[in-house]
Amino acid sequence: MAAQGITIHGTCAPQFAEVRAEFERNFTDRGELGASVAICLDGAPVVDLWAGQADEGGECPWEEDTLAVVFSTSKGLAAMCLHVLADRGAVDFDAPVAKYWPQFAANGKAGVTVGMVMSHQAGLPFWMEPLPDGALLDWEPPTEMLARSTPIWEPGTAHGYHAMTLGNLEGEIVRRVTGMSLGRFFRQEVAEPLGADAWFGLPPSEEPRVATLYLPDASPNSPMGKKLEVEPDWVGHMLWNNGGDTAPAMINSVERHAAEIPAAGAITNARALARLYAPLSRDGSVDGVKLVSPQALPYMRRVRSASGCDTVLRIPTAFTLGFSKSWGDRRLGPGEHVIIGEQAFGTPGFGGSIGFADGEAKMSFGYVMNRLGGGVGLNDRAQSMIDAAYRACGYRDSAPGMWVR
């Protein structure tokens, strides 16, 4: 099926024809370059589409198995590791992080719990000093710096998006508990059992499959952008103390692809995201593979922190243990909201990628692209397909800021 020279590949159940139509419109009307979208319903694939180009040169088509960096969509995959461990009794969300990582207790953090970390309440949303270029490619120095850091608010009293630090905090807990890096644990205990193409730390053999990413223009009109402009001393400027991690040369480098960056470094595609979230849209299992028990799911679904103004992002946000809920407001415009189902949870990524599960709809969803959109939430490309998917599942309204039946 061609759309102004674009051929849409893959399969789509008739029930989700509107999703396919919106995917096509992304290329004809919304500037999509290359992308994939996938949906599972009650664990079974019902949408698996891909199209476009893996780079702007036009010589590398986006293939069935093309991969891309998904930035903060990674956070949900990292959180799955901690939920697997908690379900096995190896991690207690209400226990202090220092129980597993004694050095973390320094400078007022003895009472910081695993749950506070996972719900963005730990008061460590960024490194307080600029990291050297490429610092996040090396696990220990930035992680040890967090152990020495002092929270910028009293942990548990506020929340603000821990854009990059969350991954090092969660990853070090996994490492201390299991003796494995988060990337190794994720492959061994999550991705491989489910047959999902997803990695933290890409093997060299998979590098040829990775699409080139293209950054969006800056968004000075976003709530966070406006605050950065009018308050040059605002602590949010420290979000860029990330060792140049979002520089164009860095995000497309083989070195970054090979590094384990749990907050923003997963490399995957839409099919894998829908597969990884499929058990979480059911009872914790799919096709005979148990990821977690049914008792684990409420911890993923229930809100642990929410406010009308996230300390960092400056918009309404809501988080569970490691996942995002619907947040923001459509009236803020594209890139400043994430509108999913009332019972859904997942994580969006910089540029517009997303993976999520909805146990009420029995739906899991994944979207990955290489031309990044602006803002801190979803752009019209992702949101239009999510809206179509919910309409296909019989949902009637998203006026409350989330889809409801």
> Nearest-CA neighbor of 255 among 313, 185, 207?
207
Annotate 27-51 with b (16+ C-beta within 10 A) or e (fewer): beeeebbbbbbbbbbebebbbbbbb
Query: What value does the CA radius of gyration of the chain take, rounded to a whole number of Å?
Result: 19
**Which of the following is catalytic: 36, 72, 219, 398?**
72
Helix pair 74-87, 165-178: axis angle to 10 deg: 30
CA atoms within 13 A on the CB side of 212: 13
Tokens 């605002």 locate to 234
- Asked if residues 314 and 224 have their Cβ atoms less than 8 Å apart, the reply is yes
CA distance 247 to 238: 16
- Asked if residues 119 and 82 have their Cβ atoms less than 8 Å apart, the reply is no
CA distance 79 to 84: 9
CA distance 127 to 61: 38
How much of the chain is helix, strand and coil, in % rounded to 5?
35, 20, 45
Q: Pairing relation of β-strands 305-307 and 337-338? A: unpaired
Does the annotation count 119 as an active-site position? no
Whole-angstrom CA distances from 337 to 11, 295, 383, 393 are 29, 29, 9, 21
| Catalytic annotation, residues | 72
